[in-house]
Structures are given as C-alpha cells and as structure tokens.
Amino acid sequence: MKQLFYFSLAFLSIIACKKEPKNYLSFSGKITDKNSDSLLILNPKTGFKKTIKLNSDGTFSDTLTIKPGLHVIFDGKEKTTAYFKNGLELNMTLDTKNFHETVSFTGEGATESNFLAEAFLLEEGLIKSREIFNLSKEDFDTKLKSYAANFKKRLSDNNSDSIFVADQEKRLSTIINYIEKYYNQTSSLTKGMASPKFVNYENFNGGTTSLDDLKGKYVFIDIWATWCIPCLNQIPFLKKVEKEFHDKNIEFIGISIDQKKDHELWKKMVVDKELKGTQLFADNNWNSDFIKSYKINGIPRFILIDPAGNIINSRTPRPSDPELMKLLKSLKL
C-alpha cells in the first residue's frame, strides 16, 4: 500500500512538472542601426496592434497574446512579416542598412517566419525588377511556373504549421493572379511593339514636341514630377548618363506630369536643377493619354524607344542602376 502511495505521489509530481503550453508568444531580438525607438506589431485581419519598446542597443523582449497568423513588424521606416502564434519563443535579428536581406529568425517557430523572409526576396526579384513583364508569352509562362514550383518546394521542405501552409498557398495564388493580370494589361508594351505616342507636349525651350519628331533617334524618357522625391534623387545619376552619351544618336526626354497649377514650379525646377535634355510638360498630368497607355501608376518611370518608334524597354533600370549604362552601351549608339 505504501509503495502504491509513493508511486502515485511520483506520478503526480511528473504531471505537475510537465511543461504546460503557454498561452502567449515570447518575442525578442535585436535591431542593428534601429530606425526608431520601437517596433509596431500589426495584424490587419484581426486588428491586433502592439508597440514594443527598443532598448538603446536595439534589443527588445516582450510577450504577446495573439491569434495565429501573419503579423507585420514595422520599425518606423521598413517592415517585414512573421508568423506568430501562442506558445512560440521567437527571436528576430536584422540590420536596417540591409533590411530584408538580413532578417533572420531563430527559436521555436522560426521556420515559418524565415520562409516569409525568403519568399519576400523571391517575390521582390520577380515583380519589382519588372523584367518578367517584358518577356514573350512563352518565356513569361515558363518564368511564372518556375517561380510557383520554387515557392511550393520551399514551403513543403519547411514542414510548416498547417494553418501557415494554407495561408501561403492562398498567397501564392494571389501573387500569380496579380502577375498574370498585369502582364495581360501590359502585353502591348513588350519589346518590339510600337510605342504609344505623346503629341504636342509643351517644350521648356519653346513650342511643342511630339514623339514622332524624334524618329531616327533612340529616345530615353524620364517620367517625373516636381513633388516626387525619388524622381529628384535620380537627377544626378541621369546627368552622368546624359554626359556619357551626349554626342550619340539618343535623345533624353523629361516629361513632367505635374498638375497645371504647378506649371511655374516645373519651369523653375528645370532652371534650378539645371536639367538637361528636352524637358516637356504632359498635357493632362496622370490622365495624359501617353501616361495611361503605358499603365504608369508610379514614378519615376523610365522608357527606352528605338529609332523606328518601337519599344526597347517600357521599364528600364533607373539611372542610379549600373544596368542602365550597360543597356545603353549594348545599343552601340
């Protein structure tokens, strides 16, 4: 009887010592060269929102009681995504100087969040370079299938949480649908197709200029506006490109899509920034036919057209990208 008593006591002790699943997430880490003094954690689907304070050295540690799902981590300037659920002990490190390339998770539950970081780089490489939208239909389909296969393989290799896998499969479907829809909308803008035309745009030097006036020359077009900071940041790089090819068979065109109320501001900026090339003012800002025909919904945008008026690249690299110089040199101007 006494033996039974001690056995029962030992058994109860084991049960008592057994680790109970936590009803919260432990989240810690370090941000190198932090952009702010806190991290903002968001889940748009559930409405979850929490601010985590960063120490002076960029370290942090906190607990969150949450529903399983993708959560945005915003550092005041850039953001990444992680998979959170209660019971995990997750650690994140990153360096803001190379934000997305350095995001790394360790600890329990790191597999899913590391997958998200890798998937972002894959997606960014596929979409943001815009090269896929300049491919032939056959090459486009091959590239898209390769991306989907790579995505699925990485997902299956991770042995991830079932809820996470289902969510990522939906995400893949959304990405593929977006890319296919956008490609179909811009298929008329692929290499070799006749470029949409601008007609009688006001020329800063007087009179008007149309695309047809430039036939016989290569044409590099910069779509910009006085209020667009990224556009202005490209000016020093563009000047270097223009200087490199100033005596070649290429015309550099700047097209401002400022509103008419900012017409004088445009003229002043052309002078103040000492803009080179041919500076034009679009006839109806974003609603100009040329802008709409090129499906432009963000600037700066750079376009390269051949002497016959056909598209070489409807989304060339920016002047700050060395690839633009390589592209122009390949034309043997």
The CATH number of residue 234's host domain is: 3.40.30.10
Looking at the structure, tell me whether residues 227 and 132 fall in a common domain. no
Can you give the pLDDT at residue 264? 97
Identify the pLDDT of residue 292: 93
113, 62: one domain: yes
Whether 7 is covered by a domain: the verdict is no
218 and 112 assigned to the same domain: no
Query: Is residue 8 situated within a structural domain?
Result: no
Instruction: Please say whether the beta carbons of 155 and 122 come within 8 A.
Output: no
Q: What residue has token string 């997305």?
A: 100
Give φ, ψ of 247 to 5 degrees.
Answer: -105, 20
Same domain as 165, residue 60 = yes
Q: What is the pLDDT of residue 263?
A: 97
Helix (H) or strand (E) holding 323: helix 322-330
The pLDDT, as a whole number, for residue 53 is 97
The last residue of one of the domains, among 186, 216, 245, is: 186
Query: Is position 1 within any domain?
Result: no
Task: Identify the pLDDT of residue 127.
Answer: 66
**What does the pLDDT read at residue 20?**
59
Asked if 40 and 165 sit in the same domain, the reply is: yes
Domain that holds residue 311: 201-330
**Are residues 130 and 208 both part of a single domain?**
no
Find out whether 308 and 215 touch, Cβ atoms under 8 Å.
Answer: yes
Q: Domain for residue 252, yes or no?
A: yes
pLDDT tens digits for the chain (333 residues)?
Answer: 445 444 444 444 444 444 556 889 999 999 999 999 999 999 988 999 999 999 999 999 999 999 999 999 999 889 999 999 999 999 999 999 999 999 999 998 899 999 999 888 877 777 665 677 777 788 889 988 988 998 888 888 877 778 888 888 988 998 899 888 878 877 778 888 999 999 999 999 999 999 999 999 999 999 999 999 999 999 999 999 999 999 999 999 999 999 999 999 999 999 999 999 999 999 999 999 999 999 898 899 999 999 999 999 998 999 999 999 999 999 988
- In-domain check, residue 13: no
Answer yes or no: are the C-beta atoms of 258 and 226 closer than 8 Å: yes
CA dihedral 85, 91, 96, 101 (to 10 degrees): -80
Same-domain check for residues 139 and 233: no
In a domain, 106, yes or no: yes
Residue 168: its H or E element: helix 162-186
Q: By the 8 A CB rule, do 172 and 292 touch? A: no
116 and 248 co-located in one domain? no
List the one residue out of 49, 32, 43, 89 whose CA is nearest residue 68: 43
Query: What tokens does 91 get?
Result: 């650690």
Residue 2, classified by CB atoms within 10 Å of its CB into exposed (0-12), middle (13-18) or buried (19+), is: exposed
Which of 160, 186, 212 corresponds to the end of one domain? 186
If one counts the domains in the chain, the total is 2
The reply to whether 69 and 210 lie within a common domain is no
pTM higher than 0.85, yes or no? no
- Residue 158 belongs to some domain of the structure: yes
Cβ contact 331:325 at 8 Å: no
**What's the pLDDT at 249?**
96
182 and 60 share one domain: yes
| 205 and 158 housed in the same domain | no
- Tokens of residue 242, six digits: 């223009």
Q: Is residue 2 part of a domain?
A: no
29 and 154 co-located in one domain: yes
